[in-house]
Structure 1
Amino acid sequence: MKKILLTGGGTAGHVTPNLALIPGLKEMGYEIRYIGSHNGIEKKLIEKEGLFYYGISSGKLRRYFDRKNFTDPFRVLKGYSDAKRVMREYQPDILFSKGGFVSVPVVLAAKKYKIPVIIHESDMTPGLANKLAIPHAVKVCHTFPETASHLPREKAVLTGSPIRRELLAGSREAGLALCGFEEEKPVILIIGGSQGSVIVNETVRKILPALLEKYQLIHLCGKGNLDPALEGRRGYCQFEYATDSLKELFAITDIVISRAGSNAICEFLALKKPSILIPLSAKASRGDQILNAESFRRQGFSEVILQEDLTGRSLMDMIQKIFADRGVYLEAMEQNPVRDGVETILDLIRTYSK
């Protein structure tokens, strides 16, 4: 039996693509284990899948000054030692890395023991962790066509992002029943990211009465961000977040309003959901969401409102534009050449397993 080690952590975005690969890897007969940090979000998500999990020491790699910059290098060195022990013990045939700071010592340890490494880069430009890991990989999968210019030509493979199969299997009837929505009235899904977005939440609620005249709204507003005053409002259904029910919510959605994390927007593309993207500002991130959103706009899948331009009026105008031209966005999505990130990546794993 072939053995694969998966890694990636720090955020859910560094884990969910790995989760999307697991059913296919099992069908291919691979034994699967995961290596991540001791207490990161990846530990909870992976153990929920029933996989064997190795926890290692990890330290964050920063481009800015922080007191932890003096101690975290020692955590990274300890993580490298931990990862080498895992490689000796498990002896995987291949390592698949989704990135995040925990992945760097794991990739280096795999290289030391001549274990082939495949990396996936979700964003338009590689983050620091993947920049450090790319020289040691046999192939680098990427989501956006533009990313190829930032990668070694002989390693770059345009795969798109692996999409969880269950998201494609939602029931429209179940979604309508869950939200108590009408069959005919259009539905907008608002997603503010895993923690929610205060500015998106406030802007949507500011124009809620006007929106409800023409649309029904599903609002995933983040932990602690429910508005009790809006409970039971006809045509408005709010959740802190959705996990098992997300596929049903997507099944009844006509358009999405969202941040621009790469995994999320690739799910919208796979599900053929036109979107209005409100990327995190460059002040709050390295600017990757802005680049992601602009790529989707250029490809005709989405429209973009920069956070500093977000108002009730700009959002309402963009919603009307998306609905008026919805067929144009759907046609662009249908013509997208990147079809199945999961199958392409599984083929690479099969090819490069030693």
Structure 2
Amino acid sequence: MSTTILIIGGTGLIGKTIHNMLSKRDPQLKILIGTRKKDAIHNHIQLDINNLESFESLKKHSINVIIVCTKDANNHVLNYAIKHKIDYVDITKPSNELLKAHDSIKNNVIKSKIVFSSGWMGGIAPSLLYATGILAKDIQSVKMMVYYSTKDKAGSSSADFMAHNVSKPFFFYQNNVAKQTKHFLDGEDTIFHFDNQKRKVADFDIPDLYIFNQIEQIPNVRAKMTFDSKVVSAILAFMQKIGFFKMLGFREKKWIFGGSGNGDISSFEIIYADNTSKENRIVLKCDEGQSELTAFSTVLHVEKMLGNSNPKGIYFSHQLHDSKKFMDSLISNKSISIH
């Protein structure tokens, strides 16, 4: 029996990259693309996730896994997958929507594999952390440091996320108390070890804040990011401080964050402290950029789901894997290095 995978948002940057990787790794897979556009491409299905009637088109296909690469704020795809017992992985939910989606189903009887993989770069940070051998109960703090190059490829979903959320407050956690902040505030200097350059990082909202604190019970969790351009980092911080983003419409904010280069290095670092307060650091670099890393992580999650070694139920992506084996799989991609 052939395996059929539906990629919703498969015409975008990440969706296309996932499609190409899956096809190369297993040419026997049948891959369908869900798109709002009506076209004559043989494997495309017209599907509008905000229009429940359009889901009728899926019933003629025997789908094994749905990969969601587009915003599904109302969880229509999630609920469809649960109802029809289809395995599901979502890589797009911001923190507030992840919390809402998880709360809505965590007490349900689930007869498929439901995987929330919206953490940074496909939700791989917890796996990298636990691959060191440390246990969550022994970790006092985790800080994610993200480097973003303006020369990297960026799909429209990234710009949409920032346009929707740049003005909204979000929470980090200090001694299990939620503290409110906004993007690009509370800057501090740090040295990124992939190139030993000092840069100013500032607050940034990623679902790992929720995952590390609420799921893994780590009491202190924070995420900060920087751009390759010090000028860009400084301008965005200033715009946030004076409330400039509040005065802009969605289209203007999307234009600000919508630049897309041809590809560049992506890197992030996990700084963690154990019960002795000793700090340690994990450094990941991907020479092919964020789209490559996110797509490859997602492909590894899907392959694990198809392996049928995990029972049905709700997962965050790191809960699918043996952490050390997952790290070995990551670095099998020659563009990825981990220290």
Higher helix share: 1
TM-score class, shorter: 0.3 to 0.5
So what's the TM-score if we normalise by structure 1? Answer: 0.38
Rg: which structure is higher? 1
So what's the TM-score if we normalise by structure 2? Answer: 0.39
Tell me which of the two structures has the higher relative contact order, counting C-alpha pairs closer than 8 angstroms and 6 or more residues apart: 2
